[in-house]
Structure 1
Amino acid sequence: SEYFESYSNERILEFSKYLKSNVKLIRLELEDAKHAMRIFSRVNNRGLVLDDSDLIKNFLFQGVSDSEFDALAQHWNSAANLLDGSRLKRTKNMDFLLKLKAGIMTGKSISTNNLFGTFAPTRKVDPTKSELNDGAQLDTPQKVKEFALSLPANAKMIKQLSLNTVEQLEGYDDWSYFAYIRKVVQHFEVLLAGAHFTEEAYRNLNRIVQDRMVLAVLSKTVKEFERNIHPWAHNVSKLDPNPTKDELFAAAIESGAYEELDTLFETAFIRISALRYTTQSHQEVMRYLLARASKIYQEKFDAIETPMKSYMRTSGKSEDKPGFDLDHIFPSNPSKFEQFNKPDNWNEMKPEEQVIFENKYVHSLGNLALLHPKDNREQSDALPWDSKKQENYRNSELYLNRLISGNYSTLSKSSQEITDSLHLNEMPSALSWSSNEIDLRAKVIWNLIKTDISESLGTK
């Protein structure tokens, strides 16, 4: 009232006339709440687009008291603020979190446009009961309260998953690293579903989920895998806080996540064989495959584990910084290709076929190794069998590289037994280097990783 007293009656009357002529109040009576969502998803009172999560929030919380609304809205806002600190654009909004929770609750794929119907009842019958839409989950005020209270913790986990800093995994996690660098998020739903697990159980779940995601990415079947994500998350959500590994495996198997694994491994290797160093987007995946293979073998000997990110680190232009270069075992310099051990039908190939052959083998996984930058610069364009290159591989800090030098016979008996158990005795020596050796090396590296993934999935 004090505010209006500062204005003259004429000014207030003028303002009143302005409101009458410029502000329109429209009341719409609709048969279904979904119709309201479609209308109000266009614009809110600030002229900004409303997303589905805003509408879900307002619809759900209208059934609680005013005091409860403020408290529950605070939880919602807290969750929204946490998500805003996520690393990935996709995970920054409430729609993403609600979609995950919808999948966990229903075991089904719920599109963003259908989120409203998943959570919200059609109309109230009495304060404690509602007539539901098909699949509506929050049918009582108590469920709405519990739902709101869970949001900040859920949002915190999504943020941590995006940053690879999950508390239950003690922060950084090696097995989450591939999904982190590839920026895939589909598997977050299963990991969120296991948020109630003990630390040990959650670590076990994470290893299974991450490796299944690795296989989906490498085989380029992420979209197909998404069909299994929702029932898998639903199954995980129903487990006790401390499930056994067998129970975790069963939850995955029941969802269909393990169907046709052999085919997926075969498809993944076909995709891996098509990776080329000359394609920038391929280099990260190739580095990961070499890093993981090196880590598996290295940890059979070293007492202290080295994080995956250390193998993945690049040194840039400095030889003094820790990290590894992607080294071509047979040099990438085109002038050196004359000395490559070519196939018998080389002279019968057309010039364009010869170029394809050269690119295929010189820039493929089997012809690459992680090497200390100083060694890489020293050997320059040395051929695989040259003494300097052989010396660098033989003395490499990565034991996997030492096998390139053909020093298997010089290993101790115990080291040979470890190498044999991993089938790394099949690793070809660079003393003789051709397309056959390159293909074989890629296959040995992949089989090492394949075995590791199979063990984590409980299928070996």
Structure 2
Amino acid sequence: MIRIARKIRGGCVMAAEVTQIRSSSLTVNELFSKPYIYRIPDYQRDYSWEDEQVDALWDDITLQYVTARNPNEYFIGTIVVSRDNKQGEKVVVDGQQRLTTITMIMAAIRNIWSKRGDDRRAQGVAADYLGKEDRKTGDIKPRLILNENNNPTFVKYVLEDEKAEISKSVHSSNRLLVRALERIESHIEKWIEERSRPVDDLLGIEEFIGNNLTIILIEAASDADAFIIFETLNDRGLALAVSDLVKNYLFSKGGTYISQFKRQWNDIAITVNQDEISKFLRYYMMSQGDFVRERDLYRAIRTGFPGTGAVRKLLDKLEGSSRIYAALSSSDSSYWKTYDPKLRDVLDALSIYKVSTYKIAAMSAFNYLSPEIALSVLRMLEVISFRITIAGTSNSGQIEKIYSNAAGEIAKGRVKNARDAFELLKDLYIPDREFEEAFKFYKTGRTQLTRYILARINDYLEEDPVRKTEHGGKISLEHIYPKSPNESWHAAFSTNDEIALVNNIGNVTLLETGLNRQIANEAFSYKKEKALSKSSLKINESVSRVENWTPRQIEIRAAALANKAAQIWRLDF
């Protein structure tokens, strides 16, 4: 019997908060010999092991089998379970990935016995590890049931050994399941082919897995107690994604609302993308003014939303905010159909900058402000993000804190207009002098961003304010001093410092694609005659007036572009 104390706020422990659990060391055979069905609940994450994890487990098993002449127990991990209301079932709270993979190894061994015509041994493996016969009905009851997303595929391809090709439309986790089984079966077949006594070794590896692989089974009296153990086991580092811990906590508060909670969580995961859900949860918390680091996110949600009612309200808000979060990454989202079309230009720019922290404040703005003011705030965030991108400010923690504070003030109704928002965000606004100095030395490694910057500057220079420079396929970036210069450039660019200017923003321009193809690495006079002077882009007029292209001309042009950029990406409050 083990006693685990539940931690409560302040680090104190109350006697009433101590739970009792049972822990036992079991071989795989003993684990599946228990009169239980192990069930992975619907709220647990889908099967996610990829080739690397599957291969590592198989390699570990075979290495132990081959090197240990008198094999002892080989520990492969911990499984946490709790009782279920259904008689004879145990709910798997942690360890489901390993348990599923071990089951598939035994299924693969069964399949290979069948291929070799030894149905007796195949049926023996199936009975011991995959399913047991119900004496009343004669039905085979599986020893392991996966969650609702994975179980139909698990039954069809693993338990029943269906050979049909899996559809491309099947959920990715189910493709991982089938791939894992096929990979394991291939590994086993190759391994026994290399052995001098394949039948003996197939039987030997089967017995080794059953009798020597050891699992610590931790049994709790209830889901609530199991969650405490689950949290404790995952307290050091992030063995699980933070979102898994949060999901388990929210569902533990489900009670009669568990079906609703499951639906809402699945909808949120689909909306924001499963890979983004931890970031979304964190940004949502910060959009309410609660700055939280990733390592503290789970505890912040658990302490901030302690009961079923609080969790219901949280999920309702998360559901609404998830649509905003996802729409901020897509200017084409139907969410924006009633907004000013200019909003799409701003979102496209933010996408090109490859920034995301702005979403903290943007989510709050679109949740609580009028569409007009929210758009003004988004434009503000775009300018701030661009200046930070160019200046290379790296204090992401401080940036997030300022965004979170501003978002909190918006959520509390204290922001009435764009000016109010700027007052909260102004510490992130890089001043003109600092911005221009950084811009002069901007290196054009990010092609899409560089093309966009130059296109925006060209728009600014054009007399027709309606014209929008194509920053996609119709124009190309052109290095005036080429990356691979011919001999005509050697006199002007002779030192390493001068050659390093090739990627400076002052040396890069836009050219219509047809003109760009004609000039390659030719001399500046040839480039000017054949392309730069013929270009219709305003940004090339100053270059075409220059007699010679030198390091000094690059510096002059970089400063001029920096000045224009400061006028384009500016906030006047």
TMscore range, shorter length: 0.5 to 0.7
Counterpart residue number, 1:251: 424
- String of CA shifts for 1:25-51, please: whole Å, max 9, x gaps: 523899998775232579xxxxxx743
What is the distance in 1 between the residues matched to 2:507 and 2:459? 18
**Counterpart for residue 564 of structure 2:** 448
Residue 80 of structure 1: how far off its partner (Å): 0.7
Structure 1 residue 389 corresponds to structure 2 residue 572: no
How far apart are the structure 1 equivalents of 2:370 and 2:284? 20
Provide Cα deviations, 1:87-109, integer angstroms capped at 9, x if missing partner. Answer: xxxxx33211111122123442x
Residue of structure 2 equivalent to 1:328: 479
Counterparts of 1:145-224 in structure 2 under 5 Å? 145-166=312-333, 167-168=335-336, 170=341, 173-196=344-367, 197-224=369-396
* Shift in alpha-carbon separation, 1:112–1:32, aligned structure 2, 3 A: farther
User: Contact conserved, 2:289 with 2:409, CA < 8 A, in 1?
Assistant: no
Q: How much does 1:73 deviate?
A: 2.4
Partner Cα separation in structure 1 for residue 422 and residue 216 of structure 2: 61
Cα 1:3–1:156 shift into 2, 3 Å: farther
What is the rounded CA distance, in whole Å, between the counterparts of 1:57 and 1:180 in structure 2? Answer: 29
Alignment correspondent of 1:360: 500
- Provide the residue aligned with 2:456 in structure 1: 292
Is 1:439 matched up with 2:570?
A: no
Question: Where do 1:38-437 residues align within 5 Å?
Answer: 38-39=232-233, 50-63=240-253, 65-66=255-256, 68-84=257-273, 92-108=275-291, 110-121=292-303, 136=304, 138-139=305-306, 141-166=308-333, 167-168=335-336, 170=341, 173-196=344-367, 197-224=369-396, 225-239=399-413, 243-253=416-426, 256-258=427-429, 261-262=431-432, 264-266=434-436, 268-269=438-439, 271-272=441-442, 275=443, 281-298=445-462, 300-306=463-469, 310-311=470-471, 313-314=472-473, 323-332=474-483, 333-338=485-490, 340=492, 354-386=494-526, 389-390=528-529, 392-405=531-544, 429-437=545-553
| 2: CA distance, partners of 1:23 / 1:403 | 74
> Which residue number in structure 2 is paired with residue 317 of structure 1?
none
Could you tell me the percent identity over the aligned residues? Answer: 18
Unaligned runs of 5+ in 1: 13-17, 43-48, 86-91, 122-135, 315-322, 343-353, 406-428
Whole-Å Cα distance in 1 between the matches of residues 506 and 216 of structure 2? Answer: 71
- Inter-partner Cα distance in structure 2 for 1:443 and 1:178: 23
Q: Which has the larger radius of gyration?
A: 2
**Higher share of residues assigned strand:** 2
CA apart distance, 1:257 = 2.4
Aligned counterparts of 1:399 and 1:34: Cα–Cα separation in 2: 65
Contact residue 439 and residue 562 of structure 2 kept, 8 A: yes
Structure 2 CA distance for aligned equivalents of residues 297 and 304 of structure 1: 10
8 Å CA contact 1:361–1:435 kept in 2: the answer is yes
Tell me if structure 2 keeps the 8 A contact 1:366–1:441.
yes
Deviates more, 1:185-194 or 1:164-173: 164-173
CA distance in 2: counterparts of 1:366 and 1:104, whole angstroms? 39
Tell me the secondary structure at the aligned position of residue 441 of structure 1. helix
Distance 2:525 2:216 in 1: 84
The answer to whether the 8 Å contact 1:72/1:149 transfers is no
AA in 2 matched with 1:261:
P
Coordinate RMSD, CA, aligned = 3.7
AA in 2 matched with 1:150: K
Q: Distance in 1 between matches of 2:225 and 2:309?
A: 26
CA distance in 2, matches of 1:448, 1:34: 58
User: Please, what TM-score do these two structures have when normalized by structure 2?
Assistant: 0.55
Contact 1:327–1:376 (CA under 8 A) maintained in structure 2 = yes
TM-score (norm 1): 0.67
8 Å contact kept, 2:227–2:248: no
* CA shift for structure 1 position 204: 1.1
Mapped to 1, the partners of 2:279 and 2:503 lie a distance apart of 39
- Aligned mates of 2:522, 2:481 — CA distance in 1: 8
Distance 1:69 1:329, change over 3 A: same
1:122-153 deviation line (CA, Å, top 9, x unaligned): xxxxxxxxxxxxxx2x3554432221112233
Deviation of 1:71 after TM superposition, in Å, equals 1.3
3-state DSSP of counterpart to 1:173: helix
Q: Provide, for residues 63-92 of structure 1, a one-character-per-residue CA deviation record: whole Å limited to 9, x for no partner.
A: 4541x232132111100111227xxxxxx3
Deviation, 1:355, is: 3.5
Q: Distance in 2 between matches of 1:331 and 1:433?
A: 11
C-alpha displacement at 1:215, in angstroms?
1.4
Q: 1:269 to 1:50 in 2, by over 3 A?
A: closer
1:26 to 219, 224, 234: 219
Q: Label 1:39 to 1:264 Cα distance change in 2 as closer, same or farther (>3 A).
A: farther
Amino acid across the alignment from 2:376: N
Deviation at 1:432, TM superposition (A): 4.0
| Amino acid corresponding to residue 233 of structure 1 in structure 2 | A
Structure 2 gap segments, 5+ residues each: 1-86, 88-132, 144-209
Cα distance change of structure 1 residues 335 and 36 upon mapping to structure 2, 3 Å threshold:
same
Change (3 A) 1:155 1:3: farther
Aligned to 2:185: none
Q: May I ask how many residue pairs the two structures share in their alignment?
A: 360
Q: Give 2:28's aligned residue.
A: none
Q: Work out the CA distance in 1 between the residues paired with 2:285 and 2:392.
A: 25
Partner of 2:265, secondary structure, is helix
Q: Is the 8 A contact 2:515 2:530 kept in 1?
A: no
